[in-house]
Amino acid sequence: MTYYPMVWPYDIASSSAEEGGVLEFAFDTASPTVIPKCIGLPINTIIHRAEIELETVFDDLAATISIGDAGDNARYMPIAGNNVGLLGRYKANIKYKLLANSNINLYITPATSIQGAGTAFLFYKRP
């Protein structure tokens, strides 16, 4: 598994820049897995966008992928927001303000899949 930290140099309507975390995953990745750089995000952080880029399809279409937190495992990228049987980049444009310190997780239910891989992205702005 490879982790890629992301920080953008531009300003988004205030003094803090947009940041993000990236996680490469496969059908056998532990679930939930905290997305790097999305550990302990502080209250009032604004989640802007979640993305899943599917690079290898899952061979069992009952498999599911979502991005969320302990309170709602599909809060930022719902299961219906991506298709595990079709290659592509799936985006959920959101604006969600964290009400408590949070870890943002990738959730995978592989069903009987023996293949499937991609990359999860989360973009946010700290207070």
pLDDT per position as a tens digit, 48-63? 999 999 999 999 999 9
- Torsion from C-alpha of 119, 123, 46, 66, nearest 10 degrees: -10
Share of the chain above pLDDT 90, in %: 85
What is the pLDDT averaged over residues 61-74? 97
Which residue is listed with tokens 């604004």? 46
50, 107 in Cβ contact below 8 A? no
CA angle 76, 80, 85 (to 5 degrees): 120
Asked: is 6-125 a CATH 2.60.120 domain? The reply is: yes
Return the minimum-mean-pLDDT range out of 12-16, 71-75, 96-100, 120-124.
12-16
pTM for this prediction: 0.86
The residue ranges of every structural domain in the chain are 6-125
Average pLDDT, whole number, for the chain? 90
Q: Which of 80, 88, 16, 2 is nearest to 48 (CA)?
A: 16
